[in-house]
Amino acid sequence: MGQALQKPIEKEFKSGSNLERVLASGHFAVTGELGPPRSMNLDLINRKIAFLKGFVDAANLTDNQTGIVRLSSIATSILCHQGGLEPVMQMTCRDRNRLAMQSDLLGANIHGVKNVLCLSGDHQSFGDHPGTKNVHDIDSMQLIRMVSEMRDKNQFQNGVEIKGGGPKMFIGAAASPFSSPVEMRPLRLAKKVLAGADFTQTQMIFDMEKFKIYMRRIVDMGLHEKISILAGVGPLKSAPMARFLHEKIPGIEVPTHLIERMENAVKNIDKEDKEARKDAGRAEGIKICIEQIQKAKEIEGVAGVHIMAIEWEAAIEGIVKGAGLYPRPVLS
């Protein structure tokens, strides 16, 4: 089956990125995630690119996620761009001051990177260098505003002109609909919109009924008309993983019935047959993920999904095809 060639949209784009064009065209967008390796293994990066290329509109390149040293998100973003996979470069406030951030944004954009996701960053105590000093010169809200002003006003954060124009980035922000206090989540998203965010990717959602309540507030506030909202989803690998996400990761709620489904998927398989149990668990996790995407597509205000297949990029193809989101639009 070939890719669907679409007529170009007659409008002026902020960045001209593929992700921006897909969203502007009204297509249900799909983004994925590619975790840079803890090495300089180019073959591994190319394998991961191959898993995502053609099945997502853009892929996030994480920035030393969970505080663990990895190949830089900037370098990996450039490699993805060169390999034909559009990158969403993640940038955290944990590791850089505003000088380094602005320098890196210029450097990434000149190499063809057109999307950036502005984040605070996981606390370094979770990682393998717990004694590291975090930076947090500015926070994620200020980072969004800084990138926006570099792009739209062609000026650095101190007001000095960027001669020749600033980096043309499509600006992303994170959203965590179920983090406490839940009632403040839509208001926080509204602040990110005011700061200049163009799209948002949410934390992983498993309780779609609860997410509907969040989205009703978003729609009532008219935020869905000002920012593109991509619902975060991801395939579970096992019941223990589901319980870990539910109990240990802030903002993630895995309903009991989904945990029970993951348990039942392996219930009749011999405990000694670890490969069969792993395969059965993963198959059920992919099935659940596809169901979640289909539910998300029906929720008013949802413009796409962000698939977080944690160190399991090979699962993306089956999920996208199973959800009826393949082929992806090709916009010229």
Give the model's pLDDT for residue 6. Answer: 53
Confidence bin at 65 (pLDDT 50/70/90): confident
Q: 3-class DSSP state for residue 166?
A: coil
Give the model's pLDDT for residue 67. Answer: 86
Domains of the chain, with CATH numbers? 14-325 (3.20.20.220)
Q: For residue range 181-225, what is the model confidence (pLDDT) as tens digits?
A: 999 999 999 999 999 999 999 999 999 999 999 999 999 999 999
Compute the average pLDDT of residues 227-246. 98
Asked if residue 122 has pLDDT above 50, the reply is yes
> Which region among 54-58, 83-87, 236-240, 249-253 has the lowest average model confidence (pLDDT)?
249-253
* CB contact set of 280 (below 8 Å; sequence gap of 6+): 265, 266, 269
Give the model's pLDDT for residue 138. Answer: 97
Q: Are 31 and 58 in contact (CB under 8 A)?
A: yes
- Least Cα distance to 245 among 209, 208, 204 occurs for 204
Confidence bin at 83 (pLDDT 50/70/90): very high
65 in the Ramachandran plot: left (φ > 0), alpha (ψ -120 to 50) or beta? beta
Give the model's pLDDT for residue 66. Answer: 79
One-letter identity of residue 325 = L
Compute the average pLDDT of residues 248-266. 96
Count of helices and strands (H, E) across the chain: 11, 10
Asked if residue 57 has pLDDT above 60, the reply is yes
Confidence bin at 8 (pLDDT 50/70/90): very low
Token pair of 231 as six digits? 């619902």
Helices 140-152 + 185-195 axis angle, to 10: 30
Q: For residue range 129-168, what is the model confidence (pLDDT) as tens digits?
A: 888 889 999 999 999 999 999 999 999 999 999 999 999 9
- Measured in whole angstroms, how far is the alpha carbon of residue 167 from the centre of its chain? 21
Confidence bin at 124 (pLDDT 50/70/90): confident
Confidence bin at 9 (pLDDT 50/70/90): very low
